[in-house]
Amino acid sequence: MEKPIRVIVSGGGTGGHIFPAISIANAIKEIKPDADILFVGAEGRMEMQRVPDAGYPIIGLPVAGFDRKHLWRNFSVLLKLVRSQIKARKIVRDFKPQVAVGVGGYASGPMLKTAASMGIPTLIQEQNSYAGVTNKLLAKQAKKICVAYTGMEKFFPAEKIIMTGNPVRQNLLAVCVSREDALSSFNFDIKKKTVLILGGSLGARTINQTLINGLSQIKAHQEVQFIWQTGKIYIEQVRQAIKEFSNEVLADGKVSILPNLYVTDFIRDMATAYVAADLVVSRAGAGSISEFCLLKKPVILIPSPNVAEDHQTKNALALVDKGAALYVEDIEAMQQLLPTALETVADEDKLKGLSEHIAKLALPDSARIIAHEVLKLIK
């Protein structure tokens, strides 16, 4: 009788790393239902909750990111890295994986480096158009490197590269809700255009501050509806700002304040929100961009300036160069974001063009393709 295969999947830190990791694990399970899959993440990071919620065991490493601005603060980081490598070695000895998969994030580096040094074949899933330092180092020992953008030969050995795209949350593609029902779930008018504003699961300070400052513009454009995900960190600040704005508005005796605005800290049914949206405003994370491509969503990208190697700007420009997205710099968002969004969502031809161009960049079945490559390494 054939023994179940054993796979380590490592990485996390943000939803952009966790969702693809879980998608790959699910795809492996579809092909090999008895597969034994162990996740390795970073202690205290969101994967330690999200992965068990998805039904998989996870072990945390005491790893942390480097402080590139204050190098003298990295002594404790180096100690944690050494401890993580020791723990990773124990994980490999105890679990005896036949392959290790890295999706990016703090834990991916020490886990894959250790696995490769112990003779375990490794596969890297590079999500961005500009490879990070860790993945470039891991690539030297990796057997395969799955990418989502062309031109990655400038970072990795060409013979190891496989164009797969980025896995996305499977439930986004299986949705069967109508646009009318989706809009009704937000108490919105089905005849009006809708803008979906996303700052990631934790939120984005610039995007939230721009919307707070733009409440009067939102009120003035009742022909456009807004779904605003603030992130858990900013929800109370946003609610307070809306309350203060509403008191000012109510002073003139009007009852209706902002019926065209739906605010929440976290959208649990993202599939329905995407169906409702005519235009999306988002950071330029690789995972989010892959979702927009597959769902053919017109999007305005505001790259985060707080990421390594400024890879979100490079992700955004890879789409902008193909006419597949609009782009507003973080530093210019206060002045440009809302006017650009209002102008774009009112222009049917522009929306159609953006949708057609971004759809051409979609790479479906990414998780399944990566899963097959993982299984080939075991054979």
Eight-class DSSP state of 126: E
User: How far apart (Å, rounded) are the C-alpha atoms in residues 39 and 56?
Assistant: 7
Tokens (6 digits) for 285: 């994370």
Tell me the average pLDDT across 107-123: 95
15 pLDDT exceeds 70?
A: no
- The pLDDT value recorded for residue 66 is 66
Tell me the average pLDDT across 77-106: 92
Eight-class DSSP state of 4: P
Eight-class DSSP state of 307: S
CA dist 324 → 147, 356, 374 (Å): 19, 8, 31
| Residue the block writes with tokens 């491509």 | 293
255 pLDDT exceeds 50?
A: no
Mean pLDDT of the chain: 90
- The pLDDT value recorded for residue 176 is 80
**C-alpha torsion sign, points 301, 192, 211, 45:** negative
CA dist 43 → 13, 46, 64, 111, 337 (Å): 10, 9, 9, 13, 36
- The pLDDT value recorded for residue 139 is 93
Q: Which of 9-13, 35-39, 212-216 shows the lowest mean pLDDT across its residues? A: 9-13
CA dist 85 → 68, 69, 366 (Å): 21, 24, 30
